[in-house]
Amino acid sequence: MNERTLGVLRRAFAKQVLAIAGVAADTRLEAAFGRVRRERFLGTDPWTIVRNDGVLVRVPANDPVYAYQNALFAISPSRGVNNGEPSLHARLLHALAPEPGQTIVHLGAGTGYYSAILAALVGRSGRVTAVEIDPYLAAMAKANLADVRNAEVVVGDGASWPRTEVDRIYTNYGVSAPAEPWITALAAGGRLVLPLGVPAAPIRPGGPSFAQQGGAFLIARQDSSFTAKYLGGAFFVHAEGTDAERDPQALARLSDAFHSGKAALVRSLVWKGTIEARRCWYWSPEWALSYDLP
């Protein structure tokens, strides 16, 4: 397939993905999805689609035509890592709203596909730091992003990033609590996509855990306070780094919060402050998601 035809396919894919996500009016995001070549980020092994029932289906060939659909492609099956559902990421990226010239940290970058889209959104004057805990995937991301001059890849635990103040933080794995740098390093007016999740049992001993309950929140800093908004269900593979050491009591409270069905009523994040538990969707001594405005 020639590049002209692929360009048409990418642009159609971008329109379809944004329509599914309900953000069809976001022309900047559509342009970014239509520009980045997804096939570059799927690896050289035979491509495998992850069906909704969890079954892995190998496509007939590594033909780019298969890449441009709203489907998950496995990129590290042993860890349960995939390339991400485009419509979910379109919804989350729309809420994150990266602007030209901003600094962004992308946590759980995988092979770098959504890092490339973020780099397109912030432009040449912006900067994207893609953080990936798996050295093999990080090496793939570094190769894939070699010609993206405003992006860099680092190997590390996302819980220890950002190291300096940033405008946006895009987290692509499930956690049971925000890491401290995600809050303290967020600039005034900054935004964080926070995928909270209660992990199920590992799919095999020592294997990855997926969220059995999960949802993403948009956290926005306003000087010393934080607004919070529920963005809908989001079921990511759970953290392998610091957050993998989970507090059973905290997980039980988070599970109760999801069972309450009131996530859409959340209005603010309280960080190391004092608030009554009854005013919160989720409460802990360190942080809370509250029904009150900040």
Query: Sorting pLDDT into bands at 50, 70 and 90, what band is 3?
Result: confident
% of the chain beyond a pLDDT of 70: 97
Look at residue 204 in the predicted model and tell me its pLDDT: 67
pLDDT > 90? residue 77: no
At 211 the pLDDT is 83
Please list the helix, strand and coil fractions of the chain in percent, rounded to the nearest 5, in that order.
35, 30, 35
In the prediction, which pLDDT does 10 show? Answer: 97
pLDDT over threshold 70, residue 221: yes
Indicate the pLDDT class of residue 243, thresholds 50, 70 and 90.
Answer: low
User: φ and ψ at 197, to 5 degrees?
Assistant: -160, 150
- Looking up tokens 């890592």 gives 81
**Residue 58: C-alpha distances to residues 17, 44, 246 (Å):** 22, 13, 35
Provide the pLDDT for residue 132.
96
Rounded mean pLDDT of 116-142? 97
Q: In the predicted model, what is the mean pLDDT of the chain? A: 94
Residue 259 has pLDDT above 90, yes or no: yes
More confident site: 4 or 246: 4
Handedness of CA 198, 113, 92, 222 (dihedral sign): positive
pLDDT tens digits, one per residue of 179-201: 999 999 999 999 999 999 999 88
pLDDT of residue 207: 67
How much is the pTM? 0.95
Pairing of strands 48-50, 72-76: antiparallel
Among all chains, which residue has been given the structure tokens 């780099």? 119
pLDDT per residue as tens digits for the range 150-180: 999 999 999 999 999 999 999 999 999 999 9
Domains of the chain, CATH where assigned: 76-290 (3.40.50.150)
pLDDT band at residue 36 using 50, 70 and 90 as cut-offs: very high
Strand order in the sheet with 48-50: 56-58, 48-50, 72-76, 81-82
pLDDT at 46 > cutoff 60: yes
Residue 206 scores a pLDDT above 70 = no
State yes or no: pLDDT of 242 exceeds 80: no
